[in-house]
């Protein structure tokens, strides 16, 4: 079955000088193009997930790339039978994902990353290139983890991301002496999480570049159990990025 609807997900931590003006520009562009979805505009960056026919979606991505600092913005792609959003909206918020730790600024400094293919190889072996044990740390909410996760991943059963810092402090000893790979759906939460752990002195922490969705796109999905929860009407995605639930 041909899937005619392109779904794009993109984010970047880069300062946005005038979020309200940026919101108005992007809102006008998206409405004119007829795409549906949500774009978050914050002082620390942009987060966008929208869908529609391929041509207007790619035009909308070009509009995002016209925002200063986002010229090389990359988007993850997947396809569906129908548009999984009811409307188009652009919101201004304080943070892309709320953590309540202003010292964590991914726009100024990124934690080290690991690419999907290297991670798959490490998980095949059970250790990194230096022979150190690798542990996967899920930074998502508990209900997302219940839909699917990496095999043997650490799950602290947080119900919102603002609980993550306290969970790290409570379980820090369990992470010592291991190579920790933080992961999330698209890369936003695990990027902040990795920086926070570095701030605590856990220096052997990496973030999965592009999150679960990029891992699915660039590997065969091995070591993943279940599906990946997504915040749209597709409900969850299989490892081949197809919707596991019927489009509605």
Model pLDDT, residue 108:
87
d(CA 16, CA 236): 31
Average per-residue pLDDT for the chain: 95
Question: Do residues 218 and 243 lie in contact, with contact meaning Cβ atoms separated by under 8 Å?
Answer: no
Write phi, then psi, for 50 (nearest 5 degrees): -150, 165
Q: Give CA angle at 17 (15, 20), nearest 5°.
A: 115
Q: Does residue 226 share a domain with residue 134?
A: yes
Neighbours of 129 (CB within 10 A): 10
Model pLDDT, residue 183:
98
Domain limits at 30? 5-92
**CATH number of the domain bearing residue 122:** 3.40.250.10
Q: Does residue 60 share a domain with residue 119?
A: no
d(CA 52, CA 93): 24
The two tokens of residue 88 are 């188009």
Q: Does residue 123 share a domain with residue 58?
A: no
Q: Is 63 a catalytic residue?
A: no
Q: At what angle do helices 188-199 and 164-175 cross, to 10 degrees?
A: 60
Is residue 99 included in any domain, yes or no?
no
Catalytic residue among 57, 63, 184, 228: 184
Q: Does residue 207 share a domain with residue 129?
A: yes
Is residue 248 included in any domain, yes or no?
no
Task: Tell me the per-residue pLDDT of 7-25, one tens digit each, with 9 for 90 and over.
Answer: 999 999 999 999 999 999 9
Q: Does an H or E element contain 30, and which?
A: helix 19-33
Model pLDDT, residue 210:
94
Q: Does residue 187 share a domain with residue 87?
A: no
**CATH number of the domain bearing residue 19:** 3.30.70.100
Q: Does residue 56 share a domain with residue 154?
A: no
The two tokens of residue 188 are 């936003």
Q: Does residue 192 share a domain with residue 130?
A: yes
The count of domains in the chain is 2
Q: Does residue 200 share a domain with residue 133?
A: yes
Q: Does residue 229 share a domain with residue 125?
A: yes
Q: Does residue 126 share a domain with residue 87?
A: no
Is residue 36 included in any domain, yes or no?
yes
Residue 185 Cα to chain centre, angstroms = 4
Q: Does residue 57 share a domain with residue 137?
A: no
Boundary of a domain, candidates 92, 126, 145: 92
The two tokens of residue 52 are 């529609």
Model pLDDT, residue 1:
52
Is residue 226 included in any domain, yes or no?
yes
Q: Does residue 230 share a domain with residue 119?
A: yes
**Residue ranges in the chain whose pLDDT is less than 50:** 247-248
């Amino acid at each position: 079955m041909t899937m005619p609807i392109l779904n794009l997900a993109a984010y970047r931590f880069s300062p946005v000088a005038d979020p309200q003006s940026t919101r108005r520009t992007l809102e006008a562009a998206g409405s004119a193009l007829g795409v549906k979805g949500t774009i978050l505009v914050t002082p620390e960056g942009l987060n966008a997930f929208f869908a529609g026919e391929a041509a207007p979606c790619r035009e909308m991505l070009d509009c995002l790339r016209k925002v200063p600092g986002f010229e090389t913005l990359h988007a993850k792609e997947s396809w569906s039978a129908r548009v999984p959003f009811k409307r188009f909206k652009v919101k201004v918020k304080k943070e892309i994902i709320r953590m309540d730790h202003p010292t964590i600024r991914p726009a100024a400094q990124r934690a080290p990353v690991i690419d999907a293919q290297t991670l798959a190889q490490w998980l095949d072996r059970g250790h990194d290139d230096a022979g150190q044990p690798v542990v996967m740390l899920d930074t998502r909410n508990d209900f997302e983890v219940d839909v699917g996760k990496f095999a043997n991943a650490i799950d602290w059963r947080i119900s919102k991301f603002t609980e993550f810092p306290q969970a790290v402090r409570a379980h820090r000893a369990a992470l010592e002496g291991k190579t920790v790979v933080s992961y999330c759906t698209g890369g936003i939460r695990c990027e902040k999480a990795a920086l926070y752990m570095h701030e605590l002195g856990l220096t052997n922490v990496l973030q999965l570049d592009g999150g679960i969705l990029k891992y699915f796109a660039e590997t065969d999905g091995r070591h993943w159990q279940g599906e990946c929860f997504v915040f749209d009407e597709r409900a969850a995605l299989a490892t081949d990025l197809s919707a596991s639930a019927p489009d509605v």
